[in-house]
Amino acid sequence: MKSPNCALTIAGTDPSGGAGIQADLKTFQELKTYGMSVITSVVAQNTTGVKSVHHLPLNMLSEQLEAVESDLPIHAFKTGMMADVEMMKVIKEWIQNVKAPFVMDPVMIATSGDPLINEDARIYLREELVPLTAIVTPNISEAEDLTGDKISTHEDMKEAAKKIVHTLGAGAALIKGGHMQGQAIDYLYDGKAMYSFATERIDTKNTHGTGCTYSAAITAYLSQGEELHKAVEKSKHFVTSAIRHSFELGKGNGPTNHWGIREEELTGEFRNYS
């Protein structure tokens, strides 16, 4: 059998299974991508929020990275929660030797409102890691944090995408509109063209892990050699299906359904999102 496309996630955990490493691996698997994972922090969280966090020692982080990279191919990788500057320095040094597209989900705050990264780390992420990315995927508040500009309109979202590419040095920026009013519209800017991806807003509170799932899908498609804007278009379809078929599980914001796309294929339900 031929060897599969391989994708790596470097992120924190979610024992409730909706976000973090767990969401990433489920997404990779659904998209026929061999999934690998390096854990940064163990997070005691569920659909209602974060209870406590334990950061792994730095040597364990670098040894996990080395274990994967010295033995298996990495066709694309993503980062999620990287809690402090020391971890980011280890990851930055490792990235210098990896020739694969880097998808950054600039995780800062969970849907529950709990912070997942400290203040110094936000600055380091912006100045040292964003310039290494193929694509960075902020939601509205993360894009505001990265650019220092308030975002109230769709024009503001597009300006933020341009600033993240031209001023901060990202390869591309995808500004996610899940927290805006009206349709769920995201904007992708790749340094040349602006693309928009729009869907109807699904009436649900069960959106825990949407950002992780979306960026993991982009990573999976890039690992398959898909072009960036096609990878985003297909990932938008994947995450929308996951939200449409999300689960009423837990007492807070329930998780998305990583096999939602299969439900739609079975019922013949398919929409064009771009």
Ligand X SMILES: Cc1ncc(COP(=O)(O)OP(=O)(O)O)c(N)n1
Ligand Y SMILES: Nc1ncnc2c1ncn2[C@@H]1O[C@H](COP(=O)(O)OP(=O)(O)O)[C@@H](O)[C@H]1O
Which active-site residues does the annotation give? 176, 207, 209-212
Does position 10 interact with ligand Y (CB under 6 A)? The reply is no
Instruction: Specify whether the CB–CB gap between 34 and 62 falls below 8 A.
Output: no
* Comparison of 101 and 209: residue with beta carbon closer to ligand Y: 209
Selected binder of ligand Y within 13, 16, 240, 253 (CB under 6 A): 240
Locate all alpha helices (DSSP H) within 33-183, ordered by sequence.
58-69, 85-95, 119-124, 140-147, 154-166
Please name which of 40, 5, 1 lies closest in space to residue 21, comparing C-alpha atoms.
Answer: 40
Instruction: Report in angstroms how near the CB of residue 261 gets to ligand X at its nearest.
Output: 17
Neighbours of 153 (CB within 10 A): 10
Our finding on whether 145 is near ligand X (CB under 6 A) is no
**CB-wise, 4 or 112, nearer to ligand X?**
112
* 125 lies in the site for ligand X, by CB under 6 A: no
- Residue of 14, 30, 156, 159 interacting with ligand X (CB under 6 A): 14
How far apart are alpha carbons 28 and 210 in whole angstroms?
A: 14
Residue 185 phi, psi (nearest 5): -110, 130
**What is the residue whose two structure tokens read 């990275």?**
65
Per CB under 6 A, the segment of 58-66, 79-87, 160-168, 199-207 that binds ligand Y is 199-207
> Which of 30, 41, 138 shows the shortest CA–CA distance to 81?
41
Q: What b-and-e string marks burial along 46-74, b requiring 16 or more CB atoms within 10 Å of the CB?
A: bbeebeebebbeeeebbebbeebbeeeeb
What is the spatial distance between Cα 17 and Cα 138, in angstroms, rounded to a whole number? 21
Residue 40 binding partner per list ligand X, ligand Y, none, with a CB distance cut-off of 5 to 8 Å that depends on partner kind: none
For position 158 contacting ligand Y by CB under 6 A, the verdict is no
Contact code string over 51-80 relative to ligand X, x by CB under 6 A: -----------------------------x
> Is the CB of 129 or the CB of 239 nearer to ligand Y?
239
Specify the residue, 40 or 199, whose C-beta has the smaller distance to ligand Y. 199
Write each residue from 208 to 227 as x if it is in contact with ligand X (CB under 6 A), else as -, in one continuous string: xxxxx---------------
Q: How far is CA 178 from CA 31, 115, 194, 249, in A?
A: 23, 18, 18, 20
Q: Which does 226 bind (CB under 5 to 8 A by kind): ligand X, ligand Y, none?
A: none
Sheet order of strands, 6-11 included: 34-39, 6-11, 76-79, 102-104, 135-136, 173-175, 184-189, 194-199
> Which residues in this chain contact ligand X in the complex, by CB under 6 A?
11-14, 19-20, 43, 45, 80-81, 107, 110-111, 116, 207-212
> Which residues in this chain contact ligand Y in the complex, by CB under 6 A?
139, 176-179, 184, 186, 199, 201-202, 204, 207, 210-211, 214, 236, 239-240, 243
